[in-house]
Structure 1
Amino acid sequence: MEERPADIEDSEVRQALKAWRIDPVTWEYAPVGFGDHHWTATDTRERRWFVTVADLADKSWYGEGPEAALDGLRDAMDTTVALRGAEPDGLDFVVAPVPTAEGETVRALGAGHAVSVFPLVSGTPGHFGDTLTAHDCGLVLDLLTRLHRTAPPASARVLPPDFATRPQLESALREMSRPWDGFGPYAEPARQLLAVHAGALRGRLDEFDRRVKELRASDAPLVVTHGEPHPGNLLRAGERRLLLDWDTVGLAVPERDLWLVADGAEGVSGADVLVRYEEATGREPDPSALALYRLRWALNDVAEFLTWLRAPHGPTPDARQARDALTSTVESLAADA
C-alpha cells in the first residue's frame, strides 16, 4: 500500500519484532503492493528483513472475523515454510516467512492485524500488470510444475472455487437505487458504473455458477497451488525466479495457477503454455476450469474494489487505484459477457 496504516504505529510493529529477536537499526516504510503494509529493516547484525502487516479484515477468503482470518493466514504461512523445506530438496523458489523463536510464522498485532517477517531477498521485482517474456513464462511454468507435483503439507487447506467476497458484490448490485453518498469521492461514480453494467455482471455471476458446477462434477484431483503467480509476485535474481506472496496458497485444481501464466506471456501463445504443462505433468488443462478461475479473479476484484469504495475514503492514491481498477475490470467483464 502507498499509504501508511492509520491505525498501526511504527513503534507497535517494531515492538512485535522482539518475538523474532530482531532489534531494528534502520527502519523504513515500503509503499509497495495493494492490501498489506510493509516495512524494511536492518538489525544489529546487519541482517535485512521485509516485515508485513496484514489487515485481517481484508483476508475474507479464510472465513468471517479476525480470528478465522488469523488462523487461515497462519495455515498459509505454515504451508509456505513446509514447501520451502519439502523433501527431498525443498522448493528453493518459495520465499517463506521466518518463524519466531517459538516457531510461529504469524503473530497477532492488536485485534485486527497480524505480522510476519521475511528475509529481504535481493533481486528485481515485477509489477502487477506486467507482461511475462517468453523466457520468464517458461521459468514460471517450470516452478508451477514443481509445485503442483509436491506432496501437500498437512497445513494446506482445500480452497473451494467460490469467492468469499460475493456477498459484497451482490449487496452492491441490490443497492444501486439510491446515491452512495457519505463514503468518499469515488463511491457515487462506482455506483453509476455498476448501474450501467449491472445486467452484464449478473450474467457473469450466472456463468460463474455454471462453471463451478462443471468443475465439481469433474472430480478433478487437487494439487498445491500458489493462487497468484502473476508478475507482481515474481522476483528475478539472475537466472533464478522466486515466487512471493503465498497468502492464498492452498489445494485446488492446477488451472487456478495456470490461467494467469497462459494469459500473461509475450511472444508465446497460451495454447503453447498449456501444451508444455501437459507434456511436463501428463495432465491436460481443462478449458472450462481455466475460464472459471479467470472469471473468479475478475469478480472477486470487483467485489473488493466496491467494498473499498463503499467505505469512508478520500482522494488518496490507493483509493484512485481502486477506482481505476474497478472501472477497467467491470468494463472488461461486460465486454466479454
Structure 2
Amino acid sequence: MVDNLAGMKDRPAGVDERALRDALEKWGIGAVSLEYAPVGFGDYHWIAADADGPRWFVTVADLAQKGQAGDGESALRRAMDTAVALRGQGLDFVVAPLADAGGETLQLLGSRHAVSVFPLVSGRPGEFGDRLTADERRKTVEMLAELHRTPPPASTPVRPLRVPMRGRLEEAIEASGGGVWRGGPYAEPARALVADSAGRLRERLAEFDRRVDEASGADLVVTHGEPHPGNLVMVEGSPVLVDWDTVGLAPPERDLWLVAGGPDDLARYAELTGRRPDPEVMELFRLRWAIEDVALYVEDLRSPHELSADTREAWEALTDTVRELTAPVSNS
C-alpha cells in the first residue's frame, strides 16, 4: 500500500491493538510503533514499523463484509491467495499481501476480523472520484488488458452478476412504507429517502434483472473489481493496483466501466486483447455498482448505529447514489 495517506475514518470498535501486535509477530514484525491510518471506507488500516526501520501497511478486515452465510474468512483468503498468485505470475502491478512464516496471507484477529500485511509502496495515491489524465487512463487500460489475458489462478473466486444483498434491499423498500426505523440518527432519514424513491428503485432493479439475463454466458476473465483511482497508485508514472479483496472471475467490463473514458480507450483494449468491450455490459456493471451501494448503505443505516464520521459518510453516499440512480432518463 502507499506511504502518503489521508482521509477520515472512525477507529474500529472491538479491535485490540495488543492482539494486533501479537498477530504481526507471525510475519516477523516486532512493531515498535503502530499508527492508525484513517483512510478508505470499509477496512481498517495501520502503519507498522519496527526497530530496524522497515514499515508495512496493515489491514484489518471485518469478515462479515467479505462473504455470505458466514464464509467471509474463506472468501477473503481466496482473494488474498489469488493476488499472491497473480504477482507470482509476473504481474508486478499487483500489490499483493505478504505471506507470514507459515505461508498464510491472513491471520484471524478474534472471531470477526482478519489481519493481512502489505508492502508499503512509495507513490502518488489517488482518491475515489479523481479524474485520470488521458495518459493515466491509457496505462490503466493497458494494465487491465494484461490482467484480463492472464490465466486465472486456481484460487480465483467467481463473482456473480447478481447483487448478493438484493433480497435485503427489496425488503427495505417494502418496509420503508411502514413504521419508523429506529436503528440510529440516520435510520429514519434513510427510510424516508427509500420510501420517496421506492417506485423508481423497483424500476431500476427490474432493468438490472433484464441486463443480467442478457449478459449471462459472457466470457469470464480475472478482474480486479474496483480499479478506480482510489485503488490506483502512480509509481514513477505507471499505475499499480491495491485492494484485491474484490478480485474474481467476471466479464472484463466489470473493470472497464470504471476506467475507460471513451472510444479510444476501448479501442486500445480491443487491440491488446482481441476482444471488443460491450457497452451494454459496461452499463450493467455501472448499474450493479449503484444498486449494491444502496443495498449496503441502507442495511448499515437500518441497523443500530451512532452519529460518527463513518455513518455521516454513509448517509451522504446513500443520498447521492439514490439521487443518481433514480434520476429521470433524458430523451435528448
Counterpart code for 1:297: W
Q: Distance in 1 between matches of 2:54 and 2:283?
A: 43
8 Å CA contact 1:179–1:191 kept in 2: the answer is no
SS of match in other structure, 1:193: helix
8 A contact 2:215–2:281 mirrored in 1: yes
Partner of 2:72 in structure 1? Answer: 69
Q: Normalising by structure 2, report the TM-score.
A: 0.94
Displacement, 1:110? 0.7
CA contact (8 A) 2:136 2:238 kept: no
CA-to-aligned-CA distance 1:249-282 (integer Å, 9 cap, x gap) = 01111000000012xxxxxx42222122112211
- Percent identical residues: 57
In structure 2, C-alpha distance between the alignment counterparts of 1:257 and 1:82, rounded to whole Å: 19
CA deviations over 1:227-264 (Å, ceiling 9, x no partner):
000000001122121100000101111000000012xx
Give the CA deviation at 1:220. Answer: 2.2
For residue 290 of structure 2, the aligned residue among 288, 291, 298 is 298
d(CA) in 2 for partners of 1:26, 1:237? 26
Corresponding position of 1:275? 267
The answer (yes or no) to whether the contact 1:179–1:188 under 8 Å persists in 2 is no
Q: Which residue of 2 aligns with 1:254?
A: 252
| Aligned positions of 1:85-96 closer than 5 A | 85-86=88-89, 90-96=90-96
Distance in 2 between the 1:280 and 1:336 partners?
37
- Decide whether the 8 Å contact of 2:201 with 2:326 is kept in 1: yes
In the alignment, the residues of structure 2 paired with residue 84 and residue 141 of structure 1 have an alpha-carbon distance, to the nearest angstrom, of 18
> How far has the Cα of 1:336 moved from its partner?
5.1
**Does the CA-based 8 Å contact 1:180-1:310 persist in structure 2?**
no
Alignment of 1:303-314 (within 5 A): 303-314=295-306
User: Alpha-carbon deviations, 1:75-114, whole Å to 9, x = none?
Assistant: 000000000010xxx0011000000100000111111111
Deviation at 1:179, TM superposition (A): 4.1
Shift of 1:182: 2.6
Name the SS of the counterpart of 1:178 in structure 2.
coil
> Aligned residue pairs: how many?
322
- What amino acid maps onto 1:157 in structure 2? P
2:16 counterpart of 1:9: yes
**Corresponding residue for 2:42?**
35
Secondary structure of the residue that 1:38 maps to in structure 2?
Answer: strand
Question: What amino acid does structure 2 have at the position aligned with 1:284?
Answer: R
Q: Are 2:181 and 2:302, in contact at CA under 8 Å, matched by a contact in 1?
A: no
> 74, 79, 83: which one pairs with 2:82?
79
AA aligned to 1:247 is D
Distance in 1, matches of 2:47 and 2:179, equals: 42
Q: Give the residue type in structure 2 aligned to 1:84.
A: R
- What secondary structure sits across from 2:314 in the alignment? helix
- Asked if the contact 1:137–1:261 (Cα under 8 Å) also holds between the matched residues in 2, the reply is yes
Name the CA distance, whole Å, in 1 between partners of 2:43 and 2:168.
20
The aligned residue for residue 265 of structure 1 is none
Residues 336, 276 of structure 1: alpha-carbon distance in 2 compared, 3 angstrom cutoff = farther
In the alignment, the residues of structure 2 paired with residue 28 and residue 312 of structure 1 have an alpha-carbon distance, to the nearest angstrom, of 28
The residue type paired with residue 59 of structure 2 is T
1:159 and 2:159 correspond = yes
> Root-mean-square deviation (CA), in Å?
1.2
> Please, which of 312, 315, 332 is the counterpart of residue 320 of structure 1?
312
Aligned residue number for residue 113 of structure 2: 113
SS in 2 for 1:298: helix
Residue 31 of structure 2 corresponds to residue 24 of structure 1: yes
Partner in structure 1 of residue 232 of structure 2 = 234
Per-residue deviation, residues 145-168 of structure 1 (Å, max 9, x unmatched): 110011110101121111112122
Letter in structure 1 aligned against 2:124: T
Structure 2 stretches of 5 or more lacking a match?
1-7
In 2, Cα distance between the equivalents of 1:307 and 1:37? 20
1:266: which partner in 2? Answer: none
TM-score (normalizing by structure 1): 0.93
Q: 2:4 matched to which residue of 1?
A: none
